[in-house]
Amino acid sequence: MPIEAVIVAASRTPTGSLNGSLKTFKAPELGAEALKHALASKQIDPSVVEELYFGNVVQAGVGQSPARQVALKAGLSQSSDATTINKVCASGMKSVMLAAQAIEGGHRSVVAAGGAESMSNAPFLIPRTNPAFGKFTTIDSLEYDGLWDVFNNQAMGCCAEVSAEKCEITRESQDSHAIESYKRAAKAWQEGAFDAEIAPLTVKGKKGDTVVREDEEYKRVIFDKVPTLRSAFKQGGSITAANSSPLSDGGSALILMSAEKAKELGLTPLAKIVSYADAGVDPVDFPIAPTVAVPKALEKANLTAADISLFELNEAFSVVVRIAEKKLGIDPAKINVNGGAVALGHAIGSSGSRIIVSLVHALKSGQYGAAGVCNGGGAASAIVIQKL
């Protein structure tokens, strides 16, 4: 009889802006806070977690074995295992998929998964071989290891420009999407839609401690300026700072178990894992990759897009979502109902699991949800869940 993997807890930290409210937290600390909150939210004994898969992208300066740091900081047993996953922006989602595989294959009964990134703490790099004379040449690890297409030697935003032209997505369409993302995020926060998933963070300061409970970016938008901004990557292009996701800090975590183990522990699952899939495309076409991965996951689940109540598609750029709407025929009203990465932030190691966390909490009992995230190098991951 097949083993069913279920999600019993799902939490995330608030997402901080670059050099903003969460800049003092290293990525493993953000991840550990999310994981501790997930465990505490369902009163799960950390010692029952057998393994952790955790996403982290820009690892320079983070310290040895980021996932192991998260595990031990969150109180997991020293006898548990931990593996760091780097699939760029899909790292967090791939971690959840690997956790599900471990359970479905009968190798584990309880596995934690998620991801974290502190883009504020990404260091600049200098070559180990010193120049005999003159200045050092530095490399921004955040840009080069996280946001640079090494195959075409250009910024990811340049790739997004190519996809926008190829799929005939206009600047106006992208701007309207970005504005809607910010409005949905603000509405979600006003209505308490994120309250159950947020792990508040205490920031220590000279004048006392401050508790951060909500995302930072969505309040910074100036709507009148969105249509007036210059293109960021190409003269006369359509990708701008407003219709792109901002650099961010954050962490997210989920606890997965076999349905049998959850029953044994007296836990009521939030959702079950139905299917998942990955897809690869030409590296320059990475914004299009979710339109390949999502149908793969739906096919494995014997579902169609019409069966899905809510989609979470990571907004690395607004064009990613606009392409998915166009190619997959998805009603925009079903996608990122509480706003997406353009408004909430895109902490790259966390985003893949962050959208699953938000999807779990947004769905109603019995509904199916699908999440998809593109990643640098020309790929994407997708997952289908059902709320229980």
For tokens 């494995």, the residue is: 300
Q: Which of 37, 158, 177, 346 is catalytic?
A: 346
d(CA 204, CA 207): 8
Show the 3-state SS of the chain: CCCCEEEEEEEECCCEECCCCCCCCCHHHHHHHHHHHHHHHCCCCHHHCCEEEEECCCCCCCCCCHHHHHHHHCCCCCCCEEEEECECECHHHHHHHHHHHHHHCCCCCEEEEEEEEEHHHCCEECCCCCCCCCCCCCEEHHHHHHCEECCCCEEHHHHHHHHHHHCCCCHHHHHHHHHHHHHHHHHHHHCCCCHHHECCEEECCCCCCEEECCCCHHHHCCHHHHHHCCCCCCCCCCCCCCCECCEEEEEEEEEEEEHHHHHHCCCCCCEEEEEEEEEECCHHHHHHCHHHHHHHHHHHCCCCHHHEEEEEECCCEHHHHHHHHHHHCCCHHHECCCCCHHHHCECCCCHHHHHHHHHHHHCCCCCEEEEEEEECCCEEEEEEEEEC
167 is a catalytic site residue:
no
Q: Which of 37, 89, 158, 177 is catalytic?
A: 89
158 is a catalytic site residue:
no
Residues with active-site annotation: 89, 346, 374
